[in-house]
Structure 1
Amino acid sequence: MALNKREIELLADKITVNLIKDGNIKLNKDISLLKTIAKEVLEEDAQKEREIDLKTKELLKEYSSEIEKEGADTSKLFIMAKKKVAKQEGFLL
């Protein structure tokens, strides 16, 4: 499941602090710029994952009668299908 807005904020803060603390980045400007960049990247990633979730749900909906007939575990099937859709989209989960 994609990160929510609160999780994105927290993760962007942590990434920013760790990059600076570990000496990987030296800032000439305000730390907020780095945090904004991290947040934007995480938001784009979360949006792509939501799109993959939607494509996966649509795919499973197409086969819903077969899935129901076989009594398949829909949670496990969703995870497996999502991995496949993500791979086809070139997205690393």
Structure 2
Amino acid sequence: MNASSNAYRYYIMRNRAHIQRYYRALGVYRPIPFALGTALTFGKELIRLLLVERTVRGTSNLFRGLRDGRKIARDRSWRPMPALTA
């Protein structure tokens, strides 16, 4: 495990909501396994903070990413990006 930035911690948690929305759009979203994966991602980042960086100062970025991700997950106007054309 390498050290990571606060921005990385924020975006790794926030982007889980984008992945959730894509899974829902594709019809492959399963809430319990996805929530477990999010919890494991959160735990991995906590372990990275505690063992690699030896601090707890980045936890606010994890929680902020989760909070902002909830806004994305609840956004009714969200649509997946259209397929790219050659």
Do both share a fold (TM > 0.5)?
no
TM-score, scaled to structure 2:
0.39
Higher relative contact order, structure no. (Cα contacts within 8 Å, ≥ 6 residues apart): 2
Bigger share in helix: 1
TM-score normalized with structure 1 length: 0.37
